[in-house]
Structure 1
């Protein structure tokens, strides 16, 4: 009899243990799937360890050529929130774009009007319509005044999905916005004091919205230049001559690509006893696996861009 009682007690304890180990609704993490580094950066800096974030675009890969797998699409459908850049840039999102759990970042901001006298950006109330066929609006996130609005948009959607953690989401969003706003303010003040700030870019110029915000003249090979496109001898010669004429000491290249064009220009100028340095102007399309492991953020890359531009303009 005693053996039966002990057996029943043990069985009860085992069943109790199994029951309490099951995940409950209260400890369920919000599942967020994102299409790019931008969505990942926004979600992780606002949600931090409260949420689980899955970026379906592999680290270090080319954003423009990405195509999701069937598994990726299942993850999107099952997610509590799916964050993507735009249907225009990511045409594969069309089947998921208008679902309740989807957030289209290209529809989540209004363009802050520029002040040609002293564009501080933060706090402006004027709004200008953004044209989605324009190259600048295609890469809208490179303008930090836009990015701060994207932080608000993601925070709002996370609160809708998970009201329980509203205060944490809002505190994290404010802290991240303040960090970017501080960098923006400092850089605006610096650029305002520069006469004809001009830099030279040997790559796919996706920084139109950035250059427009800060009134920086970015001289590039071609506005239509693609990362894997062949360049003509005339384009190279024109950019090389412009660098020498301006007496620039640096040429910029984009992230995550072999800087073959910038290297060719540098080597050609070296033959003419003219030295230049190659710097990176990051367009935030994606980051490397190593950068992802280190937790590199949009704010980190913005700061890096500021430092590199300051170096170029100080020479």
Structure 2
């Protein structure tokens, strides 16, 4: 009996130690945001581990890496960061990571593709007092800052990650290539569905209203849409003035839209204020829909293993709802 108890104790201790070792296991690939995490995870499959630094539900604009994060980066084989403009805590990319760490600035991973449709420069109704060249510069800067919202950029990002992944593990090149091509084909299929609908009449040059900051400009430009955003830059709802709420409310009402889009992961104070203002003053009913910017996910989506492709489809379904697209007229 004592021998059995001793054996049981040894087994339990061994299992506990193994568990602790797994918890402390260093990831092979570290990323700063969800889109890059999702792409790397799809390519790596079960050959390498991938970690996302930003906490679930957090905003990438205000994230600062912890000392543990820096250790994980130093021990990683591959480190993917969003950009120096967003990851402002990275002062010198050449000084981050370990001797063997490949550091990738993902904002350098793509070349913008020309759209086959004619694009018309669109000046926001809220910023119509700006000089056109000033608006164009701001428009381009925002599109480059949030480059990952354009699926054609994401397709190139998959190639970029794959090319560096086989540097650190050439033995599994065929495996990674198969995974990369599979995920690219899935995203490309959704991209073509969106382009087919929004690139043709009656939906080309469609307009939607977004009670958030202008993070979806590259998406709008890719699919010939106009997204009227409440903010040109990231701005907490607490900074809103009553005049801004009234101005945007009037724009929504005068456009006779039924849906107002909101950002994911952020309490929609501005949208709720606009919705309440229109209902009280004009008996105007407005429905809120989410427009996801793909930079992070909440706990529910994480546990459900929601992917970039899933969020792209979710956005497309919400846009179709706002535009009144049905199975009979799409």
Partner of 1:296: 306
Give me the whole-angstrom Cα distance separating, in 1, the residues matched to 2:230 and 2:306. Answer: 29
Q: Aligned to 1:40, which of 28, 37, 40? A: 37
How many residue pairs align between the two structures? 279
Q: Secondary structure at the match of 1:112?
A: coil
Tell me if 1:138 matches 2:145.
yes
- Tell me, which stretches of 5 or more residues in structure 1 are unaligned? 1-20, 22-27, 119-129
Q: For 2:87 and 2:95, locate their aligned partners in 1 and report how far apart those are by CA, in whole Å.
A: 14
Q: Mark the CA change 1:195 to 1:245 in structure 2 (over 3 Å): closer, same or farther.
A: farther
Q: Does the C-alpha gap of structure 1 residues 91 and 97 become closer, same or farther in structure 2, counting only changes over 3 Å? A: farther
SS in 1 for 2:297: coil
Does the aligned pair in 2 maintain the 1:97–1:104 contact within 8 Å?
Answer: no
Cα offset, 1:299, TM superposition: 0.4
Root mean square deviation, CA, Å: 2.4
Deviations 1:126-167 (A, max 9, x none): xxxx99981110000000000000011011111111011111
- The aligned runs of 1:257-296 (5 Å cut-off) are 257-271=266-280, 272-296=282-306
CA apart distance, 1:224: 2.5
Aligned mates of 2:306, 2:236 — CA distance in 1 = 23
Which segment drifts farther, 218-227 or 186-195?
Answer: 218-227
Could you say which structure has the larger radius of gyration? 1
TM-score, normalization by structure 2: 0.79
CA distance in 1, matches of 2:39, 2:139: 21
C-alpha separation in 2, matches of 1:42 and 1:267: 39
1:87-236 pair list within 5 angstroms = 87-97=84-94, 101-117=102-118, 134-192=141-199, 193=201, 194-236=203-245
Note the alpha carbon deviations across 1:267-289, whole angstroms, 9 max, x for none: 12222221110000001111012
Alpha-carbon separation, structure 2, partners of 1:290 and 1:45:
20
1:74 aligns with 2:84: no
- Structure 2's unaligned 5+ residue stretches are 1-17, 19-24, 120-136, 326-330
